[in-house]
Structure 1
Amino acid sequence: MTLKSALLASAIALTPMAAMAELTIGFSQIGSESGWRAAETTVTKQESERRGINLKFADAQQKQENQIKALRTFIAQGVDAILIAPVVATGWDEVLEEAKDSDIPVILLDRTVDAPDELYLTAVTSDLVHEGKVAGEWLATEMAGDDCRIVELQGTTGSSPAIDRKNGFEQGIAGHDNLEIVRSQTGDFTRSLGKTVMESFLKAEGGENICALYAHNDDMAVGAIQAIKEAGLAPGVDIKIVAIDAVPDAHLAIANGEMNATIELTPNMAGPALDALEAYLANGAVPPKWIQTESKLFTTADDNAAIYEVKKGLGY
């Protein structure tokens, strides 16, 4: 299998065409805070178009109130189903009850919610805790007994990726007394805030006293790389960097020696979600409550320059 075909299979794998024509589905997207988020939106639109689905798209601009308003609009319009990437984990019970009362199945994409699972059909996500644990274990191996003071860029406060990726990372470094998280603050999953918060970390700790950065997504890491360079340090060398998503710019940073590792989160949540929805609407087949997508660790050992080019061509 070629590199391009392998990545195509994991990123926007084509699923069998099905009798999904005439369906209208609402999609409430968090926003466009990252390159990965933009890729998820693109892939969801492509999957819907390929299947003949009428997709109603709503950009929440990182605000839960906008998502709740969008869901209620979809319900009033009588859509056949709703896809939602929830901005935070709590506060969904009431609107999900409204969808259930209207017999509209809801599928969660890439994030989960703290609500009774009978209120949604299924959740298509990666194992967010596992992603963070892989990052922590990679750093523990990389440092191999050397003392390492770590700064952490967290995702959006209250979101399931921020909660789970933090917990997973802490599991990954548990038992390694040489590793210590000395600063942890939200960068809201954005490149600009990742840069700003990293600047504050460097000012507070001194760049020479920071061994590694763990970022809950690549966009924050890329912003932090700029801050590290502006501080006169070499990212990836003076400060080790591991993050999550495996977007093209992360592969480019690794290829350039400015980042050390990233864990892939596929943007193709829509393919498995629509497959599950198709089966449910066709014959009542109830999917499992969690459909897990695959994650993969990329390091300097991989051909990141080639991966960058392929992923850019896939619409990231």
Structure 2
Amino acid sequence: MEIPAKKIHIFFIPLLFLILILSGCVKEYGSEDTENTVDENLIVVGVSQVGSESVWRTANTASIQNILTKENGYFMIFNNARQKQENQIKALRSFISQRVDYIVFSPITEDGWETVLQEAKEAGIPVILIDRKVNLSDQSLYTTWIGSDFYKEGRMAGNILDEYLTKQHRQEVSIRIVVLQGTEGATATIGRTNGFNEVAEAHENWLILEQADGEFTTAKGQEEMEMLLHRYKDIDVVISQNDDMTFGALTAIQNAGLTAGEDGDIMVISFDAVKSGLQLVDEGLVTADIECNPNQGEYVETVIRKLENNEAVAKLYFVPETVFTKENVKDALEKRTY
């Protein structure tokens, strides 16, 4: 008699964790692979996160960990890929071999997932993508995607820039723009770039001088901004595709003896809207911050509960987001937890 796949992991995972305990390989909860015994009534979920490259990513991870708890009926195995796709593929294959009930992961880049996701499909394990998307010829290899409309975010940045330039009566003046992009090939980078570029192309007076890869980190953002300031003497606007790069860019601007802000030398528009980013909006150093909502855990659980009840789920779930400026940032700052 064939044993159902969902029953196999009930026996296999406790044995696996006994081996890990005896070998001293069990890690602290939330750092790598998690804890000890599995109750047969728990839903087992393997989660692979890109890494911990930003304040936003930390908040995104917390939203998943805080909802996939034993109290809520889950056993979560968590893996930090540390920005390496090979680590993430290895983690996914580990989840498949452990016969988890669901796989949740944020892909580092869009390409290179066809083989491992085919393996998950053959094992009968639904895959839930969060934050970033994958480029596949067969869309049935994943069940659903939860995240931000990055293309819309890019257009939001372009539209808010247009509003401020109009207010300053600079519609006919040449506007010199540099863009600090995120990780090459990442969904957020692609969407925000395409959305902003589409708005920019509709303005003949907007000149994008360069789009540099800041890798979504503060250090790289500062490094790239320093080189851009050395290369171009009259930058009017910086579009920074996340707050962490913005922190580095602002340091570079200050070190160059320039000022940031709507009334300063360089206008800065950022993305993510973490609390420290919103504080810069409140101080006037950042003109606008486009929200990227990291609280995706509740959506993950909603999808899993639907699947557990054999209910249909949508292929895409967009989380709600807004644009923060000096006019509306106060209320958001009081409520921000990340």
TM-score, reference length from structure 1: 0.89
Deviation at 1:34, TM superposition (A): 0.8
Aligned positions, number: 290
Question: Is 1:73 the equivalent of 2:103?
Answer: no
Asked if 2 retains the 8 angstrom alpha-carbon contact of 1:140 and 1:173, the reply is no
Asked if 2 retains the 8 angstrom alpha-carbon contact of 1:221 and 1:243, the reply is yes
1:1-316 residue pairs with structure 2 within 5 A?
22-49=42-69, 51-115=72-136, 116-144=138-166, 145=171, 146-206=173-233, 209-236=234-261, 237-282=264-309, 284-304=310-330, 307-311=332-336, 314=337, 316=338
Structure 2 residue ranges without an equivalent (≥5): 1-39
Deviation at 1:149, TM superposition (A): 0.3
Helix, strand or coil for the counterpart of 2:176? strand
Asked if 1 retains the 8 angstrom alpha-carbon contact of 2:241 and 2:270, the reply is yes
Opposite residue 43 of structure 1, the aligned amino acid is S
Distance in structure 1 (CA, Å) of the matches to 2:328 and 2:259: 21
Give the % identical residues: 38
1:125-147 Cα shifts (integer Å, max 9, x gaps)? 11110000100111122112132
Structure 2 match to 1:10: none
Helix, strand or coil for the counterpart of 1:185? strand
Asked if 2 retains the 8 angstrom alpha-carbon contact of 1:153 and 1:187, the reply is yes
1:196-242 Cα shifts (integer Å, max 9, x gaps)? 10000001112xx0000001111111110111111111111211111
Helix, strand or coil for the counterpart of 2:66? helix
Backbone CA RMSD of aligned residues: 1.4
Deviation at 1:308, TM superposition (A): 3.1
Opposite residue 122 of structure 1, the aligned amino acid is T
Greater relative CO (CA pairs within 8 A, separation 6+) = 1
Structure 2 match to 1:12: none
TM-score, reference length from structure 2: 0.83
Structure 2 match to 1:3: none
Structure 1 match to 2:28: none
Deviation at 1:38, TM superposition (A): 0.4
Helix, strand or coil for the counterpart of 2:67? helix
